[in-house]
């Protein structure tokens, strides 16, 4: 995407406005909150820095009412006169629509400050994915596409804790929320038209669960690189090391990764050293010479060793992936991409290859939890069809190449005796390997023409 240059920016009406003051008056904040409550909706964004502290430090809250002609307001959460409670009450009120763009981090701040996750969220980034604009789009891109306007350059490296903020910072901060209410209006109409409101709501609902922000430690372990090859004791050790690092970082008020990197923790869980001196030889571990830290780590590891085997987590089973398994994933992937394109729903919202693997694992009986593709809107949109495809009940039709290629998944007419009989010769679907499964050799696919 081309970055807007300064000349174009100056034509934007917002930049002509004089920079405004930060709101530091509690009574004024309460008056505004009441007004936004009456409007039934409002939008907000936050700016924070998380460079040197355990938790992100909130530096600015930008908000704008959902009613027509509302002006953005910049609230100063660092002002001693400001208590954000009435504001968080609004964010967590189920009666009021809270509009955001990629709101997860903003809501994390809300959860920490108020103890409550948000309610009744409308995230324009997610809505855009359901409305065929793509996902995940940056705010700049979304404003370009939906409002035909260019925002000024990002302020990613800016220090939001300085006072006073520069005019440039203030204009940027205002831009961050100014367009949200109108985009909300446009996108909700679009979702209605496409009958996808309920689907988007299902995604928004995830913001309302606290686990969305603080995943259980077992889930966090799974996400760390290299953790999948650990044995049960290794997994347990990694869980406990993560918890120990959290507590330590909180106590020191430092960002967790600044103290010990993730890969060092994984390596410790794999080696499980018995003596503090073994830690001194680890590379990339600045705390290696801190005797208090190394002893604490060795103690955590020792404690894990003493834990009875029944209490260890189950190690992840890694199945060797055959060429045909990879082809199957490619095939399902080609189908989902084609359907998403055709139906104008962002493929990244549906989920990529790992979601398809989960679906296949589930079909094979390897896991009990119903995978996301077989739940809610994903099931309705595509999951059902992917299952049919896996079970051999579909045919793929590839047409229109090169001008307007189409890949259609068509349910086969299943006769009375060729349905699911295992081993019986099934009529082959008309597969087009070049489009669907590039890894599959054409001669291996049955190419019998359908006789209809």
Provide the binding-site residues for Zn ion, judged by CB under 5 A. Answer: 45, 176
Least distance from Zn ion to the Cβ atom of residue 311, Å: 44
Least distance from Zn ion to the Cβ atom of residue 405, Å: 39
Comparison of 97 and 174: residue with beta carbon closer to Zn ion: 174
Cβ atoms of residues 331 and 407 within 8 Å: no
Give the dihedral sign, CA 233/234/236/240. positive
**Distance of alpha carbon 321 from alpha carbon 232, whole angstroms:** 22
- Give the C-alpha distances (Å, rounded to integers) separating 160 from 125, 295, 315: 24, 38, 43
- Nearest residue to the partner Zn ion, using Cβ: 176
Contacts of 18 (CB under 8 A, 6+ apart): none
Comparison of 176 and 239: residue with beta carbon closer to Zn ion: 176
Least distance from Zn ion to the Cβ atom of residue 196, Å: 27
Closest Cα to residue 137, out of 104, 172, 101?
101
- Structure tokens that stand for 109 in this block: 């701040």
Closest Cα to residue 114, out of 90, 94, 81, 85?
85
- Give the C-alpha distances (Å, rounded to integers) separating 177 from 4, 173, 276: 19, 7, 51
Comparison of 177 and 276: residue with beta carbon closer to Zn ion: 177
Comparison of 144 and 418: residue with beta carbon closer to Zn ion: 144
Least distance from Zn ion to the Cβ atom of residue 70, Å: 18
Comparison of 120 and 155: residue with beta carbon closer to Zn ion: 155
Least distance from Zn ion to the Cβ atom of residue 40, Å: 23
**Distance of alpha carbon 363 from alpha carbon 379, whole angstroms:** 14
Query: What are the backbone angles phi and psi of residue 269, rounded to the nearest 5°?
Result: -70, -25
Least distance from Zn ion to the Cβ atom of residue 176, Å: 4
Comparison of 70 and 176: residue with beta carbon closer to Zn ion: 176
Least distance from Zn ion to the Cβ atom of residue 106, Å: 8
- Structure tokens that stand for 119 in this block: 């309610």
**Distance of alpha carbon 315 from alpha carbon 310, whole angstroms:** 12
Whose tokens are 């009450």? That residue is: 89
Comparison of 178 and 304: residue with beta carbon closer to Zn ion: 178
- Structure tokens that stand for 87 in this block: 């504001």
- Structure tokens that stand for 96 in this block: 């009021």
């Amino acid at each position: 995407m081309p970055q807007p240059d300064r000349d174009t920016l100056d034509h934007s009406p917002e930049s002509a406005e004089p920079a405004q003051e930060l709101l530091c008056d509690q009574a004024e904040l309460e008056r505004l909150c009441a007004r936004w409550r009456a409007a039934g909706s409002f939008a907000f964004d936050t700016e924070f820095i998380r460079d040197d502290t355990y938790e992100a430090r909130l530096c600015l809250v930008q908000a704008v009412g959902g009613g027509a002609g509302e002006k953005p307001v910049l609230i100063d959460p660092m002002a001693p006169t400001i208590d954000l409670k009435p504001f968080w009450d609004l964010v967590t009120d189920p009666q009021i629509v809270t509009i955001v763009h990629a709101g997860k981090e903003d809501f994390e701040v809300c959860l920490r400050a108020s103890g409550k996750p948000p309610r009744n969220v409308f995230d324009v980034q997610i809505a855009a994915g359901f409305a065929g604009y793509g996902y995940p789009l940056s705010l700049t891109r979304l404003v370009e596409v939906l409002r035909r306007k260019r925002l000024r350059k990002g302020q990613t490296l800016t220090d939001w804790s300085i006072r006073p903020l520069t005019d440039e910072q203030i204009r940027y901060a205002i831009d961050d929320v100014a367009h949200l209410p109108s985009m909300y209006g446009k996108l909700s109409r679009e979702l209605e038209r496409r009958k996808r409101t309920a689907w988007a709501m299902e995604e928004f609902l995830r913001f309302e669960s606290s686990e969305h922000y603080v995943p259980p430690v077992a889930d966090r372990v799974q996400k760390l690189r290299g953790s999948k090859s650990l044995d049960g004791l290794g997994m347990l050790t990694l869980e406990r090391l993560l918890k120990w690092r959290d507590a330590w970082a909180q106590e020191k008020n430092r960002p967790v990764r600044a103290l010990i990197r993730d890969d060092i923790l994984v390596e410790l869980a794999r080696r499980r050293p018995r003596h503090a001196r073994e830690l001194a030889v680890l590379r990339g571990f600045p705390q290696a010479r801190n005797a208090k830290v190394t002893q604490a780590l060795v103690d955590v590891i020792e404690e894990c060793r003493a834990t009875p085997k029944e209490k260890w987590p189950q190690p992840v089973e890694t199945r060797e992936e055959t060429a045909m398994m990879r082809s199957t994933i490619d095939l399902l992937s080609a189908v989902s991409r084609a359907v998403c394109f055709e139906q104008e729903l962002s493929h990244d919202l549906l989920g990529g290859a790992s979601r398809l693997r989960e679906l296949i694992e589930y079909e094979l009986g390897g896991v009990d939890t119903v995978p996301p593709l077989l739940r809610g809107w994903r099931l309705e949109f595509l999951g059902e069809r992917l299952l049919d495809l896996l079970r051999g009940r579909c045919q793929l039709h590839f047409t229109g190449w090169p001008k307007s290629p189409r890949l259609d998944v068509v349910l086969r007419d299943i006769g009375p005796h060729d349905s699911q009989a295992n081993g019986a010769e099934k009529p082959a679907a008309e597969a087009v390997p070049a489009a669907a499964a590039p890894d599959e050799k054409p001669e291996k696919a049955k190419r019998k023409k359908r006789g209809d």
